[in-house]
Each structure stands twice: as structure tokens, then as C-alpha cells.
């Protein structure tokens, strides 16, 4: 089964095109691929429970592993213990591990 790592660095409050990563992740998961969505920089802003976190919770429910970069969370004052349902904090090492395992990576 192919592995995909989608990295999102933009936030949905500022960029309308963040929907691309969510849609692609959902399509890849529906096609029975192993998919991880890794949120970095301002991409972590919607991980707080609220209006924009529903998409991430929905992706997690569809089998997409949704991770938020711990450094990006700390930089933005977001508590790792108060993330939206289905979202977990993870170090940037996740990206390196995925590359070493041969995952297909898309940075948006």
C-alpha cells in the first residue's frame, strides 16, 4: 500500500487553497492508501477545537493520520493537550521518517 505524507503550512483563515490538502488526503485515504496530514507553521492554527477544526476531525475519522508539529504549536501558544479530536502533536521527525520509508511527500 503506498504511503503519502501531505504537509500543510498555510492556515485556512488566510488561504482559501488549504482545502486542496484536505480534499487530496480524503481521496487518497478513500483509495485505501496510508495517508498522513502533517501541519506545520500556520497550518497548525485550525487544530484548536472550533469552527475550522471540523475538517481535520472528519479527515481523522476517514482514516487520515492528522499530526501537528510540536514546535509550530509552541511558537503559536497552542497547548498540545487541547487539540481537536483526531489530531495529535508530533515532532518534525515524522517527515524524516516518512522520507526514509519511501513515502510520497507533497508540501503545500
Give the closest residue to 22 by CA, choosing from 33, 42, 38.
38
Residue 14's CB: how many other CB atoms inside 10 A?
9
CA–CA gap between residue 31 and residue 81 (Å, rounded): 32
Residues spanned by the domain of 49: 3-107
Q: State the pLDDT confidence band at 1, using cuts at 50, 70 and 90.
A: confident
C-alpha cell at 84: 481537536
Tens digit of each residue's pLDDT (9 = 90 or more) over 38-72 = 999 999 999 998 868 888 999 999 999 999 999 99
Q: What CATH number is given to the structural domain containing 75?
A: 3.40.1260.10
Number of domains in the chain: 1
Say if residue 107's pLDDT is above 80. yes
Amino acid at each position: 500500500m503506498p504511503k503519502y505524507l501531505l504537509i500543510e503550512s498555510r492556515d485556512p483563515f488566510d488561504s482559501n487553497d488549504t482545502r486542496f490538502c484536505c480534499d487530496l488526503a480524503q481521496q487518497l485515504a478513500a483509495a485505501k492508501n496510508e495517508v498522513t496530514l502533517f501541519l506545520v507553521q500556520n497550518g497548525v492554527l485550525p487544530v484548536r477545537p472550533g469552527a475550522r477544526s471540523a475538517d481535520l476531525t472528519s479527515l481523522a475519522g476517514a482514516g487520515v493520520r492528522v499530526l501537528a508539529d510540536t514546535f509550530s504549536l509552541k511558537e503559536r501558544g497552542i497547548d498540545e493537550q487541547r487539540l481537536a479530536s483526531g489530531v495529535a502533536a508530533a515532532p518534525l521527525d515524522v517527515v524524516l521518517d516518512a522520507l526514509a520509508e519511501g513515502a510520497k511527500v507533497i508540501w503545500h
